[in-house]
Structure 1
């Protein structure tokens, strides 16, 4: 099974594209070479078969070939609401909720929540949790 890589932009067949820095690093760590196959997904549903076309020191270029309408989502949407928890526990919750098929996760600020977020710190946490969810999607085979 080829490695699964999330690409946060729309994909087109035959159009070569440079992978974002994090995804490029992932491909380099896997020691893929030009011509090796991988699977791309953009979060819009389905997945793309692709091949590595160029491996540079800091750049990896790939060419999507064919789109497969693979749908691994549950028949019903699952929305999870949970009180904010300490950093490691919240990361674990985001990871497991994504792997189990939750459609959305709503953090709740409860009276006894140990974590308080506001402003820039809240935006950083949101971006971090989004990255955790993307990594869990890559591993679990989800496309959305």
Structure 2
């Protein structure tokens, strides 16, 4: 059975002691019913993970000793920035979770012309923190040793104009013949950006601005994908393109 994995913001050094508190301690003690001597895996996003042995179990704090570090190859060689327009309900959460599992490097929530709601200013920080926690939980589950950052929402046009990556794609239903993704690529870029619109899609003007700033049109088959499904399909296609998933 695989040892449970937990993310921590604390520095990690082999042989050092560490205390887990809050949700991690509660989950270990109350849900998993861990015991002294059990082993868990800790990581802090620097590309390594540590086996840690439980020394002491308290109601609010668990003390552990860190073992040797390892550097599993679970991260994509391509840092992909996902520009994803906001969606209602738990759809955005689901997209963040699945994008994290598929190795995305960072997620930029976007506000476009057809996003028909806004997040109140006094709730914005809490919402962004929630999305970040979704990414952390997904990284813990899928074995990643880095956690994608989730930024505060920005206007789509602003993001498009400032995003500077080696490859840039905008998902758009089009009849243009060269919008299909060539697979596989002759080589992988160091970084890439992927733009996906909201439930109502991107406007022609938004697509034109993206193309003007170096984005290539991308179409993934004849069907219209939901905004939370599109990142899964597109990121999988890009992973195949770059040779990370066998075609």
Q: TM tier, shorter chain?
A: over 0.9
Asked whether 1:44 is paired with 2:46, we answer: yes
Q: Which whole-Å CA distance do the structure 2 matches of 1:90 and 1:47 have between them? A: 28
C-alpha displacement at 1:115, in angstroms?
Answer: 3.6
- Give the whole-Å Cα distance in 2 for the aligned partners of 1:19 and 1:27: 9
* 1:7–1:20 Cα contact (<8 Å) kept: no
In structure 2, what is the Cα distance between the partners aligned to 1:118 and 1:44? Answer: 33
What count of residue pairs does the alignment treat as equivalent?
144
Q: Decide which moves more: 124-133 or 70-79.
A: 70-79
The higher radius of gyration belongs to 2
Higher relative contact order (CA 8 A, sep 6+): 1
Question: TM (normalized to structure 1)?
Answer: 0.94
| Aligned equivalent of 1:63 | 65
**TM-score normalised over the length of structure 2:** 0.56
- Where in structure 2 are the equivalents of 1:59-138 lying within 5 Å? 59-138=61-140
Give 1:9 deviation, angstroms: 1.3
Conservation of the 8 A alpha-carbon contact between 1:34 and 1:54? yes
- Which blocks of at least 5 consecutive residues in structure 2 are unaligned? 147-247
C-alpha RMSD of the superposition: 1.2
- The whole-number CA distance in structure 1 between the counterparts of 2:92 and 2:103 is 17
Q: In the alignment, is residue 31 of structure 1 matched against residue 33 of structure 2?
A: yes
SS at match of 1:87: coil
Judged with a 3 Å threshold, the aligned counterparts in structure 2 of structure 1 residues 115 and 51 are, in CA distance, closer, same or farther, namely farther
3-state DSSP of counterpart to 1:128: helix
Structure 1 unaligned blocks of 5 or more: none
Q: Say which is worse superposed, 109-118 or 8-17, in terms of deviation.
A: 109-118
Structure 1 residues 114, 27: CA separation in 2 closer, same or farther (over 3 Å shift)? Answer: farther
Q: Could you tell me how far apart the structure 2 residues matched to 1:72 and 1:63 are? A: 24
